[in-house]
Amino acid sequence: MTLTRNDYTIGWINALPLEMACAKAMLDKTHPKLPQLPQDHNTYVLGEIFHHNVVIACLPSGISGTTSAATVATQMLSTFSRIRFGLMVGIGGGVPSPENDVRLGDVVVSNPQGKFGGVVQYDYGKAVRDGMFLRMGVLNKPPNVVLTAVSELQSNHLMGISRIPEFLGGMLQRYPGMTQFAYPASKEDLLFESLYDHHVDAGAGARSCRGCDRSRVVARPQRDSTDPVVHYGLIASGNQVVKSAAVRDRLSGQLGQDVLSFEMEAAGLMDGFPCLVVRGISDYADSHKNNDWQAYAAAVATAYAKEFLSCVSVAQTENIPDVLDINSLDPSIDSERDKIYHFFRKSLPQGIPERDESLEEPLKVTMLKELMTWKYHAQGPWHLWLERFVVDGYNLNVRDGWGRTPLHYVVEAKDNRLVKVRKLLEKGADMTMMDYEGNTPVDLAQHLGDIAVQSFLLRAWLAGRGHPAGPVSADGV
């Protein structure tokens, strides 16, 4: 059976290639790629885990943070509109405390605590009196089906039943070249006192702790097993890497003892893409931070996520509303049209396109603009000229010196806008093309307040992305 984009219900996002490598290696089955939509810049891996169809994407190389994560998630939801919930899986910095014995190689899972839904954005708020920082807003929590599966898995682990070692061992057996993802027995797990900063040994490298004073290591009881311990609580997310124990402790103190990990992506997802966040602990978010435990931490986080999916019923997943149930939105209703328009803008590439004169044909654009923006023209009816241009192989998506295409100008035509817009779309005009000010034809209709044209364009955009657009009446709604 050939799968379509609508068959994928789980969105899985990684921040780093080593995290994505683990996700790919943990798939039960790998599916063929589907044709890429031109406005979606993500690269996807498709597959199956415990009968769930999963779509995996990774943030662009070298670009991290909440904004990058939000962009990847938005484009994923735009292409795979039937996704029910997400998984953000990867590495994070641990927050050890007397209450929470978090160690390198452990797993931290986001879990609602008090007013927080599992993730708190520690750098979003405003400065108030006396140097205090007031955090604003509360991020969403995952659907209840996700949280009940977490409860089941947590109860299994409390009984000593964990499949994480099994899944990790199976991955290493299937992919013998992934030895760097095995438990790093030769690497030490050193937690230094919060007030003791890293000291560099010139002969050992900047990240090595060989030059650090071992008398400043915090004494902790030895564990009976090297298997990871799974912790449930808050994950603090922001746009800056935390590499200071003093900052770590100050922020966790402000947020409460339930903060178990710091990371840089999840806060960009939770409102528009409710998900479970799973972090393998690769460092202690202090100045001693290095890469020694990153690969293993990514692997155990991925193994937990796979075990989690084994506890989620496929039938229950199908009953969860889509993350963005865009099929139910009607562009003719003001509030719903605004939602679709917002999602349309989010799906576009960030920034303003750079000018490329090799793609400009201003004379052709001007000619068609003049023919189509007036009701009568000395050269004959506009629709006959349009048919002739198409037969002759005329590219309707060329730009002029302002980056505008014929569709940009037709949206501003003095009469019969909707008829002309419809005809251009039928002939292959692209409503997602931005001019050199960043405006698409949809944006121009929005600025003009032309509800009929904007509704028609948004309905056509939904239809072009695999959504049922419904009939378009003569007035465009």
**Is residue 398 assigned to a domain?**
yes
Both 224 and 265 in one domain: the answer is yes
**Is residue 64 assigned to a domain?**
yes
Can you tell me the distance from the alpha carbon of 303 to that of 183, in angstroms, rounded to the nearest whole number? 13
Q: What is the mean pLDDT of the chain?
A: 83
Provide the pLDDT for residue 44.
97
Q: Is the pLDDT of residue 322 over 90?
A: no
For residue 347, the surrounding DSSP H or E stretch is helix 334-347
Provide the pLDDT for residue 244.
85
* Residue where a domain stops, chosen among 319, 348, 381: 319
Provide the pLDDT for residue 90.
96
Both 112 and 191 in one domain: the answer is yes
Here the tokens at position 395 are 């590219």
Both 280 and 356 in one domain: the answer is no
Both 200 and 295 in one domain: the answer is yes
| DSSP secondary structure of 246-298 | HHHHHHHHHH-TTEEEEESSGGGTTTTS-EEEEEEEEE-SSTT--STTHHHHH
Count CB neighbours of 452 within 10 A. 18
Both 339 and 306 in one domain: the answer is no
- Residue 350, classified by CB atoms within 10 Å of its CB into exposed (0-12), middle (13-18) or buried (19+), is exposed
**Is residue 55 assigned to a domain?**
yes
More confident residue, 389 or 42: 42
Of 456, 439, 455, residue with least CA distance to 447: 439
Can you tell me the distance from the alpha carbon of 272 to that of 139, in angstroms, rounded to the nearest whole number? 10
Can you tell me the distance from the alpha carbon of 367 to that of 382, in angstroms, rounded to the nearest whole number? 11
- HSE value, Cβ hemisphere, 13 Å, CA-based, for 196: 17
Contact 326, 467 (CB under 8 A): yes
Of 428, 425, 420, residue with least CA distance to 450: 420
Cα torsion for 302, 217, 203, 296, to the nearest 10°?
Answer: -10
Both 297 and 395 in one domain: the answer is no
Provide the pLDDT for residue 477.
33
Here the tokens at position 35 are 């044709």
Provide the pLDDT for residue 290.
86
CATH code where residue 392 lies: 1.25.40.20
Q: Is the pLDDT of residue 398 over 90?
A: no
Provide the pLDDT for residue 136.
43
Q: Strand pairing partners for 89?
A: 278
**Is residue 183 assigned to a domain?**
yes
**Is residue 473 assigned to a domain?**
no
Domain extent for 392: 329-464
Both 419 and 445 in one domain: the answer is yes
Both 281 and 384 in one domain: the answer is no
Both 289 and 347 in one domain: the answer is no
* Percent of residues, the chain, with pLDDT higher than 90: 36
Provide the pLDDT for residue 106.
97
Q: Is the pLDDT of residue 386 over 70?
A: no
Both 309 and 333 in one domain: the answer is no
Do strands 230-237 and 107-110 pair parallel, antiparallel, or not at all (unpaired)?
Answer: parallel
Provide the pLDDT for residue 226.
93
**Is residue 436 assigned to a domain?**
yes
* Residue where a domain stops, chosen among 267, 295, 319: 319
Q: pLDDT tens across 251-289, in order?
A: 888 876 678 999 988 877 766 677 899 999 999 999 888
pLDDT-derived band at 473 (thresholds 50, 70, 90) equals very low
Among 40-49, 264-273, 397-406, the minimum mean pLDDT is found in 264-273
pLDDT-derived band at 246 (thresholds 50, 70, 90) equals confident
Can you tell me the distance from the alpha carbon of 26 to that of 219, in angstroms, rounded to the nearest whole number? 35
How far lies 309's CA from each of 50, 146, 298, 305, in Å? 7, 9, 17, 6
More confident residue, 341 or 375: 341
Q: Is the pLDDT of residue 134 over 60?
A: no
Both 234 and 165 in one domain: the answer is yes
**Is residue 117 assigned to a domain?**
yes
Count CB neighbours of 201 within 10 A. 12
pLDDT-derived band at 169 (thresholds 50, 70, 90) equals very high
Can you tell me the distance from the alpha carbon of 129 to that of 139, in angstroms, rounded to the nearest whole number? 25
Both 173 and 211 in one domain: the answer is yes
Mean of the pLDDT values across residues 30-58? Answer: 94
Domain count, the chain: 2
CATH code where residue 41 lies: 3.40.50.1580
User: Which residues, 6+ apart, have CB-to-CB distance to 364 below 8 Å?
Assistant: 394, 398
Here the tokens at position 114 are 């008090």
Here the tokens at position 457 are 């364009």
Which amino acid does the sequence have at 219?
A
Contact 74, 347 (CB under 8 A): yes
* Residue where a domain stops, chosen among 256, 289, 319: 319
Mean of the pLDDT values across residues 316-343? Answer: 69
**Is residue 127 assigned to a domain?**
yes
Most confident of 239-243, 290-294, 332-336: 290-294
Provide the pLDDT for residue 104.
96
Spell out the long-range contacts of 386-390 with Cβ–Cβ below 8 A and sequence spacing 24 or more: 386/423, 386/424, 386/427, 390/427, 390/428
How far lies 384's CA from each of 233, 361, 380, 398, 423, in Å? 66, 21, 8, 20, 11
